Amino acid sequence: MLAAYAARIDPQHPLDALEVGEIDVAATPGGAQTSDDWVEVQVRAAALNHHDLFSLRGVGLSAASLPMVLGCDAAGIAPDGSEVIVHGVINDPGFAGPDSTFDPRRSLLSERCPGTLAERVRVPRTNLVAKPAELTFSEAACLPTAWLTAYRMLFVQSGLRPGQTVLIQGAGGGVATALVLLARHAGLRVWVTSRSEERGERAASLGAHAWFPSGSRLPERVDAVMESVGAATWSHSINALRPGGAVVICGTTTGAEPERAELTKIFFKPLRVIGSTMGTRDELADLVGLLVATGLRPVIDSTTPLAEVGQAFERLESGSGFGKLVVSVG
C-alpha cells in the first residue's frame, strides 16, 4: 500500500530518511501484528507532528525497526463501516492501570507498530473513538496527538481555573494553536510568545489576549506556563511564573538540555514542574465532545495528499506552518 515511512535514520537531514511509496507493511519489523483484538482502519486523513521529524532523526526509533511507517494521528473508517478517530497510544497488553500514559511500556503508533501515514493502519480495537458527523476527517485527524496533549496539559495537569493567566510558549505549532483555542474557550487570560510578529499576530487573531516576542519581559507573572519548546524557552518559563505557579511541559523541540536548569528558582519560588504526555482514550473522547459542544475546530495550516507528503514535511521542518499539517488519504 502507499505509505510515508522512515527508510533510514538521519539525525542531521531527517527529510533524506523519508520515503513515500508502495510498501508491504505486514513484512516490516513492526508490521506482523496478528492479535484478534486489533482492527484495520481505512485512513481518510492523517496529520503530521514534530514526532515524525524526531523519528526520522532516530529519536525513539532504532535501525532494527526500519522501515517504519510514520504518523501518530488518523481518522478513517473501521471494519464495521463506522467513522472513527484513532487514539495513538499503544499500551502493553499486560498494563492494567487507570491512566494509559503511566504505562512504562507504552509506545506511540510509528514507534513499534506501523503508523498512520498510510492507506490503512492496524490498531487495538479499544483505541477507536467514534468520529461525530460534525467533524470532518481532516479536523478529526488533528486531535489524537497535538490537541489531546494540549487538552490534558490544560484541563488535567495545570490546575488552572477560569480567570487565571496562562503563558503558551510558541505561537504557531500544532500543540500551541490547540492550547490557544482551548485556553481562550476555557475562560483563561491567554498570553503567547513567538519568534515572529506575523505568527504572534495570528495567535492573537485566534484568541490570545496578548503576544510577546520570545524571551521578552512580561507585564506581570503568570499562573502557569505551557511549555513545548524546551531549551530555548525554559528559563523564560521559570522566570515568568508567580510563586506557586506551574510549568506543564510536553516537549523539547529546541533540545532537552537548557543552559540553566533553574533549580534554585524552582524550589525557592516554589514552583510545580509537571510532565505531560498525550492523554487517555477517555480524554480524547471528552475532547471530541468539547469540540462538538462548542463549535471549536482545529486550525489547519494545509492539506496535502499522501503521495506528496514530502512537501508537508518540508513545511514542518522549516517551522513555517501555522496550525496542523493535514494529509489526505484515498
Q: How far is the CB of 203 from ligand NAP (least distance, A)?
A: 7
**Residues 301-320 as x/- pattern, contact with ligand NAP by CB under 6 A:** ---------------x--x-
Query: Is 173 one of the binding residues for ligand NAP (CB under 6 A)?
Result: yes
- Binding region for ligand NAP (CB under 6 A) out of 7-15, 128-136, 145-153, 263-271: 145-153
Query: Is 174 one of the binding residues for ligand NAP (CB under 6 A)?
Result: yes
Q: In terms of Cα–Cα distance, which of 133, 216, 226, 224 is closest to 178?
A: 226
- Tell me whether strands 324-328 and 73-77 are parallel, antiparallel or unpaired: unpaired
Query: Is 326 one of the binding residues for ligand NAP (CB under 6 A)?
Result: no
Query: Is 171 one of the binding residues for ligand NAP (CB under 6 A)?
Result: yes
Q: How far is the CB of 24 from ligand NAP (least distance, A)?
A: 29
Whose cell is 496527538? That residue is 145
Query: Is 232 one of the binding residues for ligand NAP (CB under 6 A)?
Result: yes
Q: Which is nearer to ligand NAP, 250 or 288 (CB)?
A: 250
Q: Between residue 28 and residue 67, which ones bind ligand NAP under the rule CB under 6 A?
A: 49-51, 54
Q: How far is the CB of 118 from ligand NAP (least distance, A)?
A: 19
Query: Is 116 one of the binding residues for ligand NAP (CB under 6 A)?
Result: no
Q: How far is the CB of 136 from ligand NAP (least distance, A)?
A: 20
State the Cα angle at 45 between 65 and 174, rounded to 5°: 80
- Binding region for ligand NAP (CB under 6 A) out of 18-26, 249-257, 258-266, 306-314: 249-257
Query: Is 127 one of the binding residues for ligand NAP (CB under 6 A)?
Result: no
Distance CA(248)–CA(195), nearest Å, equals: 20
Q: Between residue 197 and residue 226, which ones bind ligand NAP under the rule CB under 6 A?
A: 199, 214
In the numeric block, which cell numbers belong to residue 23? 510498501
**Residues 275-304 as x/- pattern, contact with ligand NAP by CB under 6 A:** --xx--------------------------
Q: Which is nearer to ligand NAP, 127 or 145 (CB)?
A: 145
| Per-residue 3-state assignment (H helix, E strand, C coil) for the chain | CEEEEECCCCCCCHHHHEEEEECCHHHCCCCCCCCCCEEEEEEEEEECCHHHHHHHHCCCCCHHHCCEECCCEEEEECCCCCEEEECCEECCCCCCCCCHHHCCCCEECCCCCCCCCECEEEEEHHHEEECCCCCCHHHHHCHHHHHHHHHHHHHHHCCCCCCCEEEECCCCCHHHHHHHHHHHHCCCEEEEEECCHHHHHHHHHHCCCEEEECCCCCCCCEEEEEECCCCCCHHHHHHHEEEEEEEEECCCCCCCCCCCCCHHHHHHCCCEEEECCCCCHHHHHHHHHHHHHHCCCCCEEEEEEHHHHHHHHHHHHHCCCCCEEEEECC
Instruction: Count residues binding ligand NAP (CB under 6 A).
Output: 32
Q: How far is the CB of 64 from ligand NAP (least distance, A)?
A: 22
Of 14, 115, 172, 245, which lies in the binding site for ligand NAP, with binding defined by CB under 6 A? 172
Phi, psi of 267 (to 5 degrees): -85, -30
Query: Is 250 one of the binding residues for ligand NAP (CB under 6 A)?
Result: yes
Of 100, 116, 138, 145, which lies in the binding site for ligand NAP, with binding defined by CB under 6 A? 145
Q: How far is the CB of 306 from ligand NAP (least distance, A)?
A: 19
Span between the terminal Cα atoms of the chain, in Å = 11
Query: Is 88 one of the binding residues for ligand NAP (CB under 6 A)?
Result: no
Summarize as ranges the residues that interact with ligand NAP (CB under 6 A): 49-51, 54, 145-146, 149, 170-176, 194-196, 199, 214, 228-229, 232-233, 250-254, 277-278, 316, 319
